[in-house]
Structure 1
Amino acid sequence: MTSFPVLNYASTDSQKQHLENQELTFSSLDYSLLTDLYQLTMAACYTGEGVEQRRASFELFVRRLPKNFGYLIAMGLAQALEYLENFRFSASQIEALQATGIFTHAPTRFWSILGEERFTGDVWAVPEGTAVFAHEPLLRVEAPLWQAQLVETYLLNTLNYQSLIATRAARLRDVASENATLLEFGTRRAFSPQASLWAARAALAGGLDATSNVLAALQLGQKPSGTMAHSLVMALSAMEGNEEQAFTAFHRYFPGAPLLIDTYDSIAAARRLAEKVNAGEMELSGVRIDSGDLASLSKQMRSLLPGVSIFASGDLDEWEIAKLKAAGAEIDGYGLGTRLVTGSSVNGVYKLVEIDGIPVMKQSTGKGTYPGRKQILRTFKRGKAIADKLGLVTENYLEAQPLLELFMKEGQRVRSLESIAQIRQRTTAAVASLPEEARQIDNPVSVHVDISPALEELTQQTRKSISDQ
């Protein structure tokens, strides 16, 4: 096996003790350091070569959609723009970098630009909630080379993850129908506390109704939603006598709230609740089942509790919901957790397409790119997206709709933030505009993306230029 050299400089014991922070949290003040090392070493090299201020254009896109995805819902732009606005290096951060010993040979000017400059570039992007396909840029950064390079890691992190969650949410909504209540329950399964906040946001913007994540809900101006856990039923049942008393106790403080009824015997619990509801002794808005044959159980519960909403949870995804609907399940809503906030990744990439006015491209096998700054041109017919074309920004658009819009100019936002409701509405419209074959959850057929003649010509010219070098 071939080994590759890695930049790895060990700190002294005293440095380790001084720098170690087991909390591993961050704020907007830490944004600049939340990057991969090679972004900084490349920026230092650019500075040493005197090219750090040359204008560069990088585009963020996916080479291929995740398996069984016919489209991708773009999400995460709001956090990307907030990051770029706050991008700066403090004196203490620069000192910490210098103390590593990694940058001993870096030019002095490298530290000057880190300490004195902020992000001053332009950002073009598709609005959040837009459906995109392989090779179509979700975002383009046009900025001085060192800046455009340094921001890669964070931009990929937020757009890749949130686009995955938003797409899963949109698919879940599409399968479950607009009438079903869909709740995001994934905080405990998300890859980190930060990821849980982004997952909740993307799920709501992608079409879900509410999240159980209290912090995310309140920060987004939403109302958190949830029921209870089996532990409450088991604890109160053990101490107060039985499951029925546990339900009564919970309703004492949260009248009418949905109850989790599958801790012991789901049907027996439903019968006892039905007796109380029918006798006028209890108001009940809903029940939740988290295990067993959900389709069969929901049908029995519907006969016992005809006016009560039935919620289901337990490792559900769009395929499981489709199966439940096909089986005639009497389910009004779903709690979505593990499979929503984890799963197949969105393998977005961030590639240089133009430097100092010169188009560039990558020719690696299976990882080639198209040169030049591009625009997505979408054609609609009677409200349906029928064709996409990837062209150059200099082309005439005619009747096609350009999707990439200017969101930041010279480091300043030029558009106001959108609400979750606005983004959700765009997501809904975007999915509805897609052909049915692209919306299938099994073997979907994505919208074909043509390459414009101008882009094809530039690709051939750039390829020849590379071969002539």
Structure 2
Amino acid sequence: MVPAQSDLNINSQENSLLTDLYQLTMASCYVGEGIANKTASFELFVRRFPHNFAYLIAMGLAQVLEYLDQLNFSQEQIKALKHTGIFNHAPQEFWNLLETAKFTGDVWAVPEGTAIFANEPILRIEAPLWQAQLIETYLLNTINYQTLIATKAARIRDIAGEKAKILEFGTRRAFSPQGAIWAARAALAAGFDGTSNVLAALKLGEKPQGTMAHALVMAIKAIAGSEDEAFRAFQNYFPQASLLIDTYDTVAATKRLQAEVESGAMKIAGVRIDSGDLGELSQKVRSYLPETNIFVSGDLDEWEIDKLRQQGAAIDGYGIGTKLVTGEPVNGVYKLVEIDRIPTMKLSSNKLSYPGRKQIFRKMVNGQIQQDRLGLFEEIPQENEHELLQLVMQNGRRRQSSQALNTIRQRTANSIASLPAATRQISNPKFISVNISTALESLRQSVAMQNSVINN
């Protein structure tokens, strides 16, 4: 038996083991077969999007590069792997590789905040086969989740409009503490104004933002006998925070606050409504407090915000949690496209992949995406095209420093603005054409024919 560990929290020094077993067993097999150091190219892409998504916003590259920077195995980790007994027949050279493990390859990636479409590589790894194989699980975990959150956040921002204040409230519903931090980062990078996650905000150089909970209102009311005492107490310490007014009777609370404002006893920065008919309640609150910002929350997403806007709701901001950090996943895959300069492809039913190292050529006209062309790496851009995949790490060393959150946020905004209106629709959107270059299609047919001959 492997000794159990009671502490299931992870730190960055343990990330090398945060992988699926078969990554390690395959690496061991590669060593035994003498091909571990053959140069391999893997591409990470998404075949099919979540329902009603016509684009994705690439996100998570920063964490991928940090992970690759720190890739190594300690003696304790190697000892733990040996203790499992799984690797009893592994060659000694496998352990030698782990002892000196360091990522030495190249990374090509689209910049974070870039809109991408089906079957387009978000990133490509070119590295010794055992290294490129070993890192698959962590890369997919990072890119898939942050890309999902960034895309949903960008859609929400697009529907809510530029002026709305949007805060990320998803920590309590995220799938893990680590996931909560990544979700906060992706949401901010895709256009949200702030996060209630204190650790995430401070790590990102942002100011945490939030309001108050029903517990404070209930606690102070129970002791002091008045909901209004709760409002006064909280505002005394946090005068710029919004007051949560729906614990008991939203309209009644609003009327009392109106009296306080009109008498000069109170200045209210904002109010928050978390339940009930948000559209109708917001209109009533506006009628009593016309100068007060109205903030709403409660299982909101882009469809709910769209409904509220169509109803003429009087809302200035939104708190988005559960439906941002959960939901239908982005099912990105990581496939070998070349080994030792030999192009490879998968021929499984419904899981075909294109062979060879590729580049995305994007055609822009007057700031609008006209179409994308998926071609081979060595092809050159045509008129009005530019290349999306950039070399961000070479021989295991970064070629650029991490980009500021505001830079990525602006790129996301520009990406959304470059999409046709029909593609930005949240229901039945129109997909942008991704053409396959003549050279790539010829290579696909050639590799498919070779595989057919071999299999027959």
Q: Please tell me the TM-score bracket, short chain as reference.
A: over 0.9
Displacement of 1:23 in angstroms is 2.4
Letter in 1 for 2:416: V
2:71 paired with 1:91:
no
Q: Distance in 2 between matches of 1:405 and 1:157?
A: 21
2:111 — aligned with what? 127
**CA–CA distance in structure 2, aligned partners of residues 295 and 325 of structure 1:** 8
What is the aligned partner in structure 1 of residue 20 from structure 2?
Answer: 36
1:197-212 map, 5 Å: 197-212=181-196
Match for residue 338 of structure 1? 322
Aligned partner of 2:241 in structure 1 is 257
Cα offset for 1:117?
2.8
| Equivalent residue number for residue 309 of structure 1 | 293
* Matches of 1:256 and 1:411, distance apart in 2: 47
Question: What's the counterpart of residue 457 of structure 1?
Answer: 442
The residue number in structure 2 matching 1:360 is: 344
- The answer to whether the 8 A contact 1:256-1:282 is kept is no
C-alpha displacement of 1:159: 0.3
Give the Cα separation in 2 of the matches to 1:89 and 1:256.
48
Q: CA RMSD in A?
A: 0.7
Q: 1:168 aligns with which of 148, 152, 168?
A: 152
Residue 467 of structure 1 corresponds to which residue in structure 2? 452
Contact 1:59/1:139 (<8 A) preserved: yes
State the distance in 1 between where 2:240 and 2:74 align.
52
Question: How far did residue 398 of structure 1 move?
Answer: 2.5
- Aligned to 1:144, which of 117, 122, 128? 128
The equivalent of 2:380 in structure 1 is: 396
Give the whole-Å Cα distance in 1 for the aligned partners of 2:263 and 2:416.
45
Counterpart contact for 1:70–1:438, Cα < 8 Å: yes
- Paired-residue identity, %: 62
Aligned to 2:225: 241
For 1:94-119, what per-residue CA distance to the aligned partner results, in whole angstroms no more than 9, with x for missing partners?
11000000000000000001101310
Q: Distance in 2 between matches of 1:323 and 1:352?
A: 44
Q: Is the 8 A contact 1:207 1:427 kept in 2?
A: yes
* 1:373-452 equivalences in 2 (<5 Å): 373-399=357-383, 400-452=385-437
Letter in 2 for 1:31: N
SS of the residue corresponding to residue 389 of structure 1 reads strand
Which residue is 1:4 aligned to? none
Question: In the alignment, which residue of structure 2 is the partner of 1:348?
Answer: 332
Could you report, residue by residue, the CA deviation over 1:420-458 in whole angstroms, capped at 9, with x for unpaired residues? 100000000000000111100001111110100000000
Structure 1 residues 49-88: aligned runs within 5 Å? 49-88=33-72
Residues of 2 paired with 1:278 and 1:61: CA distance? Answer: 58
* C-alpha displacement of 1:251: 1.2
Question: 1:254-285: CA deviations, max 9, x gaps?
Answer: 12421000000000001111111111111111
**Is the Cα–Cα contact under 8 Å of residues 256 and 283 in structure 1 kept in the other structure?**
no
Letter in 1 for 2:326: T
* 4+ aligned runs moved over 6 Å, structure 1: none
Q: How many residues are matched? A: 453
CA distance in structure 2 between the aligned counterparts of 1:217 and 1:412, rounded to whole angstroms:
28
Q: Partner letter of residue 316 of structure 2?
A: D
Distance 1:396 1:425 in 2: 28
Distance 1:66 1:438 in 2: 14
Shift of 1:418: 0.5
1:252 and 1:23 mapped to 2: Cα distance?
41
Task: Identify unmatched segments of 5+ residues in structure 2.
Answer: none
Residue 8 of structure 1 is matched in structure 2 by none
Distance in 2 of aligned mates of 1:117 and 1:267 = 63
1:320-353: per-residue Cα shift (whole Å, max 9, x none)?
Answer: 0000000000000000000000011000000000
Encode CA deviations 1:77-101: one digit per residue, 9 max, x unaligned. Answer: 0000000010011111111000000
Match of residue 220 from structure 1: 204
Separation in structure 1 between the aligned mates of residue 398 and residue 404 of structure 2, nearest angstrom? 16
Once the two structures are TM-superposed, the CA of residue 38 in structure 1 deviates from its matched residue by: 0.2
Q: Does 1:181 align with 2:165?
A: yes
Checking the alignment, whether the CA contact within 8 Å between 2:239 and 2:269 is kept in structure 1 is no
The SS at the match of 1:368 is coil
Write the distance in 2 (CA, Å) between the matches of 1:165 and 1:24: 25
Kindly indicate whether residue 266 of structure 2 is the aligned counterpart of residue 282 of structure 1: yes
User: Structure 1 CA distance, aligned partners of 2:426 and 2:157?
Assistant: 12
SS of structure 1 residue aligned to 2:201: helix
User: Among 224, 227, 230, which residue is 2:214 paired with?
Assistant: 230
Q: Is the 8 A contact 2:210 2:241 kept in 1?
A: no
| 1-structure distance, mates of 2:302, 2:63 | 27
Equivalent residues of 1:285, 1:308 under 8 A apart: yes
Cα separation, 1, equivalents of 2:423 and 2:318: 24
Structure 1: gaps spanning 5 or more residues: 1-10
TM-score by length of 1: 0.96
**Distance (whole Å) between structure 2 residues aligned to residue 288 and residue 251 of structure 1:** 14
